[in-house]
Amino acid sequence: MSSPKRPEAAQAYWQENLRLMLILLAIWFFISFGCGILFVEQLNAIQFFGFPLGFWFAQQGSIFGFLGLIAFYVWKMNQLDRKHDFHED
């Protein structure tokens, strides 16, 4: 990563990064806590691959969701690096 030449560019980069992290953390919280604990009774009325959906979210769905969020974050951060000229290549 090159050093920021303009402080306002570094500030804009950090603001976009923070906004992205807060959105992804909210999604992660909803998937893991909301679907795995809060709404488990309602989701258990739905079958998913032979298992109640609430149970599936508590056991595997939140992990798959978390891995998907990590992949999305890496993809978005590469775009953000190029947008603000902080990319490595």
What would the pLDDT profile of 33-76 be if each residue is shown by its tens digit? 999 899 999 999 999 989 999 999 999 999 999 999 999 999 99
Residue 72, strand partner residues? none
Is residue 1's pLDDT more than 90?
A: no
Distance CA 76, CA 49 (A): 31
